[in-house]
Structure 1
Amino acid sequence: MKRTFLHFLAALTVLLPTLHAGVVTVTPEKPKKGETVTVTYDPAADGAVHAAAADVYAVVLFVNPDGLPSMLEQKMTKTGAVWSTSFPMSDPKAVGFTYRFDAGDATDDNGANAWTSMVYDAKGKPVRGAQMMEALVRLSRNFYGFKHTVDSAAAKTFLAAERKQYPDQWRAATLSWSMMFKADPGPKTVKQVKKELDALYKKYAKDEEVVREFIQWFHRTEQSKKAEELEAAMLKKNPAGKFAEMKAQQTLMTEVDPAKRAAMVTEYIGSFTVQPGTEPLFLSAYIRAKDLDKAAAFLEKYPNVSPNYYNNVAYGMITGGKVEEGTALAKKGLDRTVTGEVRTSLDFIGVNRASWLSNVKYLRGMIADTYGDGLMRLGRHADAVAPMEESYALMEGEDPENAARLAECYVKTGRNDKAMEIAFGSLVKGKGSPSLLEQYRAAYTAVKGSAAGFDSVVTYAKGQMSAALKEKLKKEWLDKPSVDFELKSLDGTPVKLSALKGKVVVLDFWATWCGPCLSSFPSLQKVYDKYKGNPDIVILAVNTWERVAPEQREQHVKDFIAKNKYTFPVVFDTDVVTKYGVDGIPTKFFIGRNGQVRFKDVGFSGAQEMEDKMDLQFEMLLAETAAK
């Protein structure tokens, strides 16, 4: 036995040295719980990404096999040519940690294979669960936002070592069984897993949490009768226990009717404890069912969620007539937004620092806008100025309606010059809207004494916008080949891209559940109506990533299009979205006459901007067509 275990340790020593060689060092090499760990990063080492970074941050994820991981982001100190930072191993449940180094918009994660370190006991051996952690990260391309290279062979070695050192390690056993079934789901695997399962069950028969995890394995090893008997026995013995909790969650997650799901959530939280990390599951059910009173009550009891949930609920309440309640909730959400320079939660942990800072800034801007909107509806325009100014600054004037609300605050408080400044700047940026023009006209009239000359000012501002946007589009011009496809349209007619060569084609990838997609559709319809008589322009709304059963998809989409009276052409994606490298929707591709992709637009930033931009894109593409 001892020689066999040493064999596993020898195998691990082959795997581990590459984790810290060159770029990174960890001291002590075998950290223990309670010790202080020092991590160094050498920007001059081969393969280091942050050779010229002004600041480097260590981003660390502490892995806990019994629950959600915890995280730490810490600014490093440069001594000589090397960056370093220290932190205590204070999480008593952490069995190891995975980490990377961020600087601005760059991340050094060891080439999409983030570094890992195990926690060791007093004898220098990995603590229970540490080697299983190493296996887990090697089976996950994205482990809570930390990228890793999948290495099944290494994972298998770590699991074998974990199970050898801790024979009763049931979590490692179930992970091993999953790998075994994936490699060979045949009788040999069933027999081996059944033998191991029966042995472990004898040890854990009275541990409901473990037995509930074994249930699926009894089913998979042809012991369904035993699994059903165990289920019935556990539910009878403890109707509010761990197994009953798991069954209730499973039932809840399969319910598609929003009202029924919300009712199930109410029943669930009355019977079981809401575990940290599961709050969004229940809160989102109330939001989808538009049961905002219960959503607000849930937030009061379970406040530790992303501030975005506060914003969603508060906005719904404010626009739904419960202005005072929604405004108060928006203020709570605003107070919970991130204001420090480092991440303290798992929100946005998977992105680089620049993206994180941009995301949290925009999120705070949205909540400040919702709070200010509520104050305005309560007639408190003077109080709304500060949150609206902050919101406008944080969102960098990118939201036309936010700009309109700020302009209204200025008009209502007699600061018409400021309102005109905001409105003109928004128009020049292409961020106009009817409500913004209304406030601009009111401010202009108050300052000038009449509206004479206002239309000329607006025309001038839009001219400035068009010129700037055209220059921007010239820089965004692409020269990539399109990927041919043949997709079915709403009426069943096949649409083949190559058959449209010689025309300007727009592919707009969307789904019925995608909020920004739906927000953009009225503008897409306007653009379609404007150009549908032009034989050289084709617009295709490519439906993709739907969240309904495949056999229900076509009717679901047809019903949506009919209900909203949209007339632009729709086609059903098969997997063109992957071939075009789409990461998020809505995403539009503009294809020129020669079949080359010329523009790619991601997201939706406002109706007027989208319409103005598409006008210019068509102008440029049609000019290219005319030149050929």
Structure 2
Amino acid sequence: MKLSGNIFVLLALSAAFNATAQTHKERLAYSPERPGVGDKVHLTYRPDSAMLKTGKPVKAVAYYFDTLYQWSAKDLPLKKSANNVYEADVVTDSTVGMIAFKFRAGEVTDNYHDTGYVIMNAKPGMQYKGAYAGWGMLRATKYDMGVPGYYKDFQIGDTAFYFWLNQEISYQQGAARPLAYAFIKAYSNMEMPEGGATESLPRVQRAADYLLHVPNHTEMELYQLSIIAEQYMKNKGQADSLRNVMRQRYPKGIVNKKEAYQALSRERDQKKSLALHEQFVKDYPQDYALDKLADINYDRVYRNIFANYIATNDSTLLPKYATTAPLSALALAYYKLIEIPYDDWKTKSAKEVYPAAAKIMEQVNYFKSHRPASSWYFSPEEWVEECDRMFARDYIIHAEILHAIGMDNAAMELAAQSQERFQYSIAKLNELQAELFLKAGKKKELSNLLHNSVRVNQASGRIFELLKKEYLATHKNADGFDGWIASMKDAHTMELMKEHIREGMINQPAIPFKLQQMDGSEVSLESLKGKVVILDFWATWCGPCKAAMPGMQMAQERFKNDPSVAFYFVDTQERDPQYKEKVKAFIKEKKFPFKVLFDNGEEAYAGYAKAIQTSGIPFKVVIDANGNIRFAQVGYYGSPSALADEISTMVSLAREMK
């Protein structure tokens, strides 16, 4: 569609803005309604029920688009008045073109049903510099020139984006130069939506010629010109000429950087690839705007460097790169260097992993107050929350490490911070905090934690042990303990769990097996006929398998006096030739009262995995008394008490089948 000459399009787009600006008064009102340069604007915000139901503080972020055509994000302090009304003030000074607002409480955000809350700065008779461009960039999400994530689904088309850019350039002196690249992209997409001879478009030719002849080109402008020449003017010779100029003028600039970056993916030799990656970060410092335009991803570069160092167990990684690496690489390092050996495999002690863990956490804390340019769209407060979100599970492990090496005060602080986020929904954290409260003599806090752990069904065997002590302190014996525990559990949560398990019920013949126990005797499925059988497929190398065993022990304990229920732990997929001795030592060390079967590689597992059409361990199968599979479950989600309840429910439902 041709925009020029179509006055109806212009009127429709302008009317659309005015309508949007007026519709959200019941939620967010401005005073004055149409602010001008230098005005102090008073905001009155009324959150909806979804936001209030979170119970979290209502917060606001202001996104400023300035007269230099750049974005920034700031926290907007809110003052709560009567009836859940919030107020704030902003000033539309001479540096501000437009301000967009977002309100949030917990995980709920409000931008008025994906239409946006926006103030466009003005002066008498016209919008102020930056207002039109900011309004277009914010809403043309596919161009990635606005605020990432501000809109979920909404975006304007090429025609509308071009209109707002054209308005800015038409009315604001000096706007053509910084907006020429965006103008050419938008106009080309509008006129040639399926691609085509954009070089034939007069406006593209004029805009490209204009940008080519402005004085004192910046590196960004020259690189934009090279893209325009190649992609829109179809003039590869001019593009090459521009890039040659840039190579000479900027030896460590974006053209040479882009070529070096592309070379990284072409190298197949691992040692040579690592050398190239390390040379790349040494030679080329990060430049957010240019790197974004050239599609250069430093996160990927550093993650590759870290992966190579970790694979070769090179201890010089953190001293060499911890202070320059992006947050994503540090998250990878914590997972590989700390979580796996300490928490999953348990091959390293807290004392051994602490130096590396402490170095990574030191950098995480540094990042919280030094937001990188690439994350500008997080307000300062949001950025701290994002750092904490990325390392939320690591904080729990780190608190465990601190506790293990005797740094209980630091562990207590970190565990409390984690509990604010997870609200007793992580059994591992609950147990850790219980031990810290117990050691510190915080009886009231301990009791509250124990009860909440059971309430949300995220309790470990240790939690139940401590609860039994509390119960016996006021009761003669433990006869009513199980009922007391049951009364604490949230009834709705338990009913949802049971319904979910019911929905997953199946009915197909179990696969016959005959496997050897640790004492050398054999057990077959045929010999178990008439019983409900629970098979837990596991391996000594499988962290989640071993993590699930306390929950399985709790489940088995509930049926210890019931001869019609049999638990067997099938050791499968082992890689160590001496795996039987390793299994026996593990079971003995942990004092698990389990009957273990050896799977001859994965003889039984393969049959059941094929029957259920699944893969992976831990893999739990419940077989009814008639020899039919009723339930099959892969994975472990971290709660011993929830797992015990799930298995108990499966057994009860399997018993109902005739």
TM-score normalised to the size of structure 1? 0.59
Tell me the residue number matched to 1:88: 91
1:218 aligns with 2:221: no
Q: Which amino acid aligns with 2:195?
A: P
1:144 aligns with 2:171: no
Deviation at 1:118, TM superposition (A): 3.0
Tell me the residue number matched to 1:484: none
Tell me the residue number matched to 1:40: 44
Tell me the residue number matched to 2:74: 71
Q: Which amino acid aligns with 1:239?
A: P
2:129 is paired with a residue whose SS is coil
1:87 is paired with a residue whose SS is strand
Tell me the residue number matched to 1:159: 165
Q: Which amino acid aligns with 2:164?
A: F
| Percentage of matched positions with identical amino acids | 13
Tell me the residue number matched to 1:17: 18
Q: Is the 2:392–2:418 contact (alpha carbons within 8 Å) kept by the matching residues of 1?
A: yes
After superposition, the C-alpha distances for 1:152-199 in whole angstroms (9 at most, x for unaligned) are 243232123234334443133233145236624123665446524541
| Distance across 2 between alignment mates of 1:367 and 1:432 | 20
Tell me the residue number matched to 2:575: none
Residue from 220, 226, 244 that aligns with 2:256: 244
Tell me the residue number matched to 2:282: 270
Deviation at 1:114, TM superposition (A): 0.8
1:232 is paired with a residue whose SS is helix
| Distance across 2 between alignment mates of 1:236 and 1:457 | 80
Q: Is the 2:162–2:183 contact (alpha carbons within 8 Å) kept by the matching residues of 1?
A: no
Q: Which amino acid aligns with 1:226?
A: Q
Structure 1: gaps (5+ residues): 339-343, 480-517, 531-561, 573-600
1:132 aligns with 2:133: yes
Q: Is the 1:38–1:84 contact (alpha carbons within 8 Å) kept by the matching residues of 2?
A: yes
| Distance across 2 between alignment mates of 1:35 and 1:243 | 44
1:70 is paired with a residue whose SS is strand
Q: Which amino acid aligns with 1:223?
A: N
> What's the C-alpha RMSD, in Å, of the aligned pairs?
5.9
Structure 2: gaps (5+ residues): 290-296, 343-347, 370-374, 504-541, 556-601, 615-632
TM-score normalised to the size of structure 2? 0.57
Deviation at 1:85, TM superposition (A): 1.8
Q: Is the 1:403–1:422 contact (alpha carbons within 8 Å) kept by the matching residues of 2?
A: yes
1:208 aligns with 2:219: yes
2:238 is paired with a residue whose SS is helix
Q: Which amino acid aligns with 1:97?
A: I
Q: Is the 2:38–2:93 contact (alpha carbons within 8 Å) kept by the matching residues of 1?
A: yes
Tell me the residue number matched to 2:242: 230
After superposition, the C-alpha distances for 1:311-343 in whole angstroms (9 at most, x for unaligned) are 6645655447341342254356468769xxxxx
Tell me the residue number matched to 1:199: 209
1:21 is paired with a residue whose SS is helix
Matched ranges for 1:169-208 at <5 A: 169-177=179-187, 179-180=189-190, 183-187=193-197, 190-192=200-202, 195-196=205-206, 198-204=208-214, 206-208=217-219
| Distance across 2 between alignment mates of 1:316 and 1:81 | 46
Deviation at 1:227, TM superposition (A): 1.8
Deviates more, 1:199-208 or 1:48-57: 48-57
After superposition, the C-alpha distances for 1:272-323 in whole angstroms (9 at most, x for unaligned) are 3334698755654555445586457655357xx76x8766645655447341
Q: 1:478 to 1:113 in 2, by over 3 A?
A: farther
Q: 1:108 to 1:381 in 2, by over 3 A?
A: closer
Deviation at 1:18, TM superposition (A): 1.5
Tell me the residue number matched to 2:414: 387
1:606 aligns with 2:638: yes
Tell me the residue number matched to 1:487: none
After superposition, the C-alpha distances for 1:567-608 in whole angstroms (9 at most, x for unaligned) are 746989xxxxxxxxxxxxxxxxxxxxxxxxxxxx9x974164
Q: Which amino acid aligns with 2:149?
A: G
1:330 aligns with 2:368: no
Deviates more, 1:26-35 or 1:173-182: 26-35
Tell me the residue number matched to 2:399: 372
2:154 is paired with a residue whose SS is coil
Deviation at 1:62, TM superposition (A): 1.8
Tell me the residue number matched to 1:115: 117
Larger radius of gyration: 2
Matched ranges for 1:299-448 at <5 A: 300=323, 313-314=333-334, 316-318=336-338, 319=342, 321-327=352-358, 329-330=360-361, 333=364, 346-347=377-378, 366=393, 368-381=395-408, 384-392=411-419, 394-409=421-436, 426=453, 429-432=456-459, 437=462
Number of residues paired by the alignment? Answer: 500
2:43 is paired with a residue whose SS is strand
Q: Is the 1:138–1:154 contact (alpha carbons within 8 Å) kept by the matching residues of 2?
A: no
Q: Which amino acid aligns with 2:40?
A: T
